Structure 1
Amino acid sequence: MWQGLLNKAFKAREKIALNLNPSDEEKPFLDHLDDLRTMLMRMITTLLVSTIGTFIFYKELFRIILYPLVLAGFAPTIEDAQGLLINTDIAGPFMMAVNVALIAGVIIAFPLLFIFLLQFVLPGLHNKEKKLLFPAIAVGTGLFVGGCLFAYWMVLPRALIFFAEFAGTMGAKQMWEIGAYVTFTTRFILVFGIAFELPVVVMALVKLDILTFKIMKNTWRHALVAITLFAAVITPTPDVLTLMLMSGPLYVLYGICVVMAYFLEKKDREAFPEYYAQLEKDEKELEKPPEKDEWDNENYNPWFSEDDQDKDIDDEYQKPRPSAPPPSVEKASNIVPMSDEPVQEEQGEDQGSVMPDEDEKPADTSKPASEKTTEELAREDEERSGNPPA
């Protein structure tokens, strides 16, 4: 299973590489696997170094994680917010520090991780093409950090207030367990950062001609529904407020993507007019209704066409042939015996009609066996056996 999935992913990677550099040769499966291993090792090493570096400042990072409690109004200061947390696990504080350091390491090392991913997905790039990726990396990093900050300042405090008030409706006192609180807040921030990468994905599809301005304009309603479902799936809380706070910015980002797709497509049309003219021609041909042929006719029979030259023969073959009536057989009593006297020829009789000689056999006028009826065949069998029919 895993080998099949990797094989499909590697084939897609090979296709992208050949499109960028047609002169390159295809790589075998093991070479792609080696490139994947290299990318993973680079990403793991980068995350390990960044996590170790941020772990040194775990106290400062923990104070940053506690600040949403102050923003939500549960404590006036960060020191007071620390008094709200309880610990129910022996290794809880240590795992909390590791978790906070890991999330901070991902945020700090995100540009390098993004570069490693692009190097694997887009192999064979030259130095000039790699320089063109720097703006995309900068935009992607800015969107990721912007999503994390939006979740930290705007969404997370309101989510904490919602859950605390909901617990109060059930008569329960809200107790903030340190491990659960840190896990919830870090995942919440990270999910928003990843969700804000939507414009990068959309613009990449536009550059690959998978999405166009026309498609995005005609399907914007479907896109809004898809964004809402996406936000509902990745949102760590089930409340409607958090869902709207996540999906709202994504709606705006998608609208910006539509506008950018228009200008990018306009620029490309000016640079490559022949290419887009061919695309429009292909789209018009696809929009045409298919021409009806003989197969669309319900009464069409491909084996017996009206234009067939052998139609009359086929019709004659299909019609049943009527059987001939059985010949009348005279009874033996009605047969007049021949006399020994010669028969006088009548006057005016055709001289050409002469009795056949004894040695000359009369012409066989009987029908073939395939055209005889069952009664005729039975009568012939009885005559051959010496039992004439009654």
Structure 2
Amino acid sequence: MWSGILQKVFKVREKVALNLGGENDEEKPFLDHLEDLRTMIVRMAMTLLVTTIITFCFYEQLFAIIKHPLWATGVIKTEQDLKNMLQILTPQEGFLMVMNLALIAAVIFAFPLLLFFLLQFILPGLKQSEKKALFPAIGIGAGLFLLGSSFAFYVVLPKALEFFYTFNESLGMSNGWRLDGYVKFATRFILLFGVAFELPVIVMVLVKLDFLNYRLMSTTRSYAIVAIAIFAAIVTPTPDPFTMLVLAGPLYVLYETCIWLAYFMEKKDRAAYPEYYAEIDKDAKELEQSSNDDWDNENYNPWSTADDDEDEKDDYQSPSAKPSAPPPEVEHADSEYLGEDQSSKMPEEDENPSDSPAREKTLEELAREDEKNSGASDQPHQP
């Protein structure tokens, strides 16, 4: 199963390399793609390992930072309230919590480098000038990730925690949360918002690969709004509509920004490659005109094709057409299949029609006999 998935991923990677106009148009072997994937994974793993070791040395500062959303809710007044609320229930829970916190912090701090390794694998065949252009894109992606994480940390997460705190109190229960559960909830919340704010980077990559364009994005804006709302409802861990709207609003603004960025990118490419885009516009107009002409026809069936019409013509038979008699071999095979005893058959008929029993006469033969009989009756009788 994994081999098939990797083969599909590598085929997409080859197509991306051809679309980008790589220097080598020959298809790479499967093992070469696998080696590139292994190199990317090793680089990302080593980067995370080194960064996690560094962030683990500052676990006290990281723990003080992750407690800030609780203070921002206003439900925690003193350090004693915080100790009563966050509890460690197992001996190793504190250490595992610190390891988890250090790993999440490592992902945030090493995100630009991780994004660079990922784009190197996804976008092969880049020229040297295009590789240099990756660095501004990586800077923009890292900035958007930090923007989304900060937005969740300072705005959305305190509101979500306050909602859960008041809801638990409405049930008549005291709020005693596990420390590990709180840290996992807060860090995942922050990471989800950071990744969600990477939408412009993803869209710009698809525009660069000609999978998206300004016209398609602008005409499908209504579908994008529905998709953003569904994504926000799934990603946000709280069921209240406020948190969903807080995430969906910035994502929609980012989507509109992507539309304008795609417009300027396409405008720049049209100036650089006018013949290429003229051919694309011509094909689009022909396709649109042919589709409109087909739908204007009242007998148009969108589910049939020209090949289906040809098959129907070949299969059609006129009423006057008579089916041909089956060959003797088919009759002999049918008789054997039905289990008829060959010895019980009647002897073969003689080819002489005089000895054969009278067959049923046709209308033409009966008409000729009537004419003969009537002619004979009209002749005078001689004595």
Which TM-score applies when normalising by structure 2? 0.77
State the alpha-carbon separation in 2 of the partners of residues 246 and 78 from structure 1. 31
Q: Which residue of 2 aligns with 1:9?
A: 9
SS of equivalent residue, structure 2 residue 136 = helix
Which has the higher Rg, Structure 1 or Structure 2?
Answer: 1
- Structure 2: 5+ residue runs without aligned partners? 323-361
Which of the pair has the greater relative contact order for Cα pairs under 8 Å at 6+ separation? 2
Q: Offset at 1:61?
A: 0.1
* Partners of 1:143 and 1:193 within 8 A in 2: yes
Task: Find the counterpart in structure 1 of residue 338 from structure 2.
Answer: none
Distance 2:43 2:240 in 1: 38
Structure-1 separation of matches of 2:382 and 2:38: 115
Residue aligned with 2:67, SS: helix
1:103 aligns with 2:116: no
* 44-53 or 211-220, larger mean C-alpha shift: 211-220
Q: Find out whether 1:48 has 2:49 as its counterpart.
A: yes
Query: Could you say if the C-alpha distance between residues 55 and 272 of structure 1 is closer, same or farther in structure 2, counting changes exceeding 3 Å?
Result: same
The one-character-per-residue Cα deviations of 1:119-172 (angstroms, maximum 9, x if unpaired) are 111123233221011111000000001110000000000000000111111111
* Larger displacement relative to structure 2 (111-120 or 150-159): 111-120
Distance 1:228 1:303, change over 3 A: closer
Partner of 2:18, secondary structure, is helix
Asked whether the equivalents of residues 18 and 24 of structure 1 are also in contact (C-alpha less than 8 Å), the reply is yes
Q: 2:18 aligns to what?
A: 18
Match of 2:345 in 1: none
SS at 1:171 equivalent: coil
1:317 to 1:52, Cα distance in 2 relative to 1, 3 A: closer
Partner of 1:93: 94
Instruction: Say whether the 8 Å CA contact 2:22–2:124 is kept in structure 1.
Output: no
Partner SS for 2:364:
coil
Task: Please say if residues 70 and 78 of structure 1, whose CA atoms lie closer than 8 Å, have aligned partners that are also in contact.
Answer: no
CA contact (8 A) 1:66 1:82 kept: no
Could you tell me how far 1:286 is from its partner in structure 2?
1.0
- Distance of 1:304 and 1:7 partners within structure 2: 42
- Aligned residue number for residue 323 of structure 1: 364
One-letter amino acid matched to 2:364? S
| TM superposition shift of 1:317 | 6.5
Output aligned runs, 1:252-263, within 5 Å.
252-263=253-264
Structure 1 contact 212–261 (Cα < 8 Å) conserved: yes
Give 1:116 shift.
0.8
Q: Distance in 2 between matches of 1:316 and 1:185?
A: 81
* 2:289 corresponds to 1:288: yes
Q: Which residue of 2 aligns with 1:357?
A: none
Distance across 1 between alignment mates of 2:26 and 2:125:
11
> Deviations for 1:302-346, whole angstroms, at most 9, x for unmatched residues?
3599xxxxxxxx99877xx95232525689xx9989xxxxxxxxx
Q: Is the 8 A contact 2:23 2:125 kept in 1?
A: no
- Paired residue type of 2:57: I
Aligned-pair distance for 1:258? Answer: 1.4
Query: In the alignment, which residue of structure 1 is the partner of 2:243?
Result: 242
RMSD, aligned α-carbons: 3.0
**What CA distance in whole angstroms lies between the structure 1 residues aligned with 2:315 and 2:59?**
86
Query: Deviation of residue 34 (structure 1)?
Result: 1.4
CA distance in 2, matches of 1:63, 1:315: 90
Provide Cα deviations, 1:88-128, integer angstroms capped at 9, x if missing partner: 12211001100110000001111111111111111232332
Contact 2:165-2:175 at 8 Å conserved across structures: yes
Q: CA distance change for structure 1 residues 138 and 303 in 2, over 3 Å: closer, same or farther?
A: closer
Matches of 2:268 and 2:198 in 1, distance apart?
24
Q: Distance in 2 between matches of 1:38 and 1:284?
A: 45
Give the Cα separation in 2 of the matches to 1:118 and 1:316.
69
Q: Is the 8 A contact 2:160 2:243 kept in 1?
A: yes
Which whole-Å CA distance do the structure 1 matches of 2:235 and 2:201 have between them? 18
Q: Percent identity?
A: 52
Partner of 1:341: none
Judged with a 3 Å threshold, the aligned counterparts in structure 2 of structure 1 residues 304 and 71 are, in CA distance, closer, same or farther, namely closer
How do 1:337-352 and structure 2 match up within 5 A? none
TM-score normalized with structure 1 length: 0.76
Deviating more after overlay: 170-179 vs 48-57: 170-179
SS of residue in 2 equivalent to 1:288: helix
